[in-house]
A and B are shown apart, each in its own frame.
Chain A
Amino acid sequence: MAVGKEIRTQISSIQNTQKITSAMEMVAASKMKKAQDRMRASRPYSEKILNVIGHLTHAHSEFKHPYMTASTDVKRIGVIVISSDRGLCGGLNNNLFRSLLKDITVWQSDSIEIELCTIGKKATSFFKNTGLNIASVLTDIGDTPRFDDLLGVIKVMLDRYDAGELNQIMIAYNMFENTMTQVPTVKQIVPMEITETEGMDHYWDYIYEPDAEEALTALLVRYIEALVYQGIVENMACEQSSRMIAMKSATDNAGDMIKELGLIYNKARQAAITQEISEIVGGAAAV
Chain B
Amino acid sequence: MSVIHVDVVSATEEIYSGEANCVFAPATMGEIGVYPQHVPLISTLKPGEVRVETENGMESIFVSGGIIEVQPDTVTIFSDTAIRANDLDESKALEAKQRAEEAMSNAQSDQDVSTTQAALAESMAQLQMITKMRGKRR
Contacts and interface: CB of A to CB of B under 8 A. Distances in A.
A210 B78 CA distance: 17
A256 B40 CA distance: 66
Nearest to A56: B42
A49 interface: yes
Contact of B96 (A42, A137, A225): A137
A14 to B, nearest CB: 37
B100 to A, nearest CB: 4
Contacts of B69: 52, 55, 219
Given A209-B41, A218-B67, A152 B96 contact: yes
B95 interface: yes
Contacts of A147: 11-12, 80-82
B71 interface: yes
Interface string A122-144: 00100010000011111100000
Contact of B27 (A153, A209, A216, A219): A209
A51 B76 CA distance: 10
Interface residues of A, number: 47
B93 A38 contact: no
A45 B100 contact: no
Contacts of B83: 148
Nearest to A49: B78
Interface residues on B, range: 35 or more
Given A148-B82, A205-B40, A155 B29 contact: no
Nearest to B118: A148
B11 A215 contact: no
Given A41-B13, A42-B12, A128-B103, A214 B76 contact: no
B100 A136 contact: yes
A48 interface: yes
Contacts of B39: 207
Nearest to B29: A209
Given A153-B96, A207-B43, 18 more contacts: A42-B13, A45-B10, A48-B9, A52-B69, A59-B40, A137-B96, A138-B99, A148-B83, A148-B92, A151-B82, A152-B96, A155-B90, A206-B41, A207-B39, A208-B42, A209-B28, A225-B11, A226-B11
Interface of B: 7, 9-14, 27-29, 39-44, 66-67, 69, 71, 76, 78, 80-84, 89-97, 99-100, 102-104
Q: Give 3 nearest A-B pairs by CB, closest first.
A: A152-B92, A209-B43, A152-B96
15 contacts: A42-B11, A55-B69, A118-B100, A134-B104, A137-B100, A137-B103, A139-B99, A148-B81, A152-B96, A153-B93, A153-B96, A159-B93, A207-B39, A207-B41, A210-B28
Interface of A: 38, 41-42, 44-46, 48-49, 51-52, 55, 59, 117-118, 124, 128, 134-139, 146-148, 151-153, 155-156, 159, 204-210, 214-216, 218-219, 222, 225-226, 229
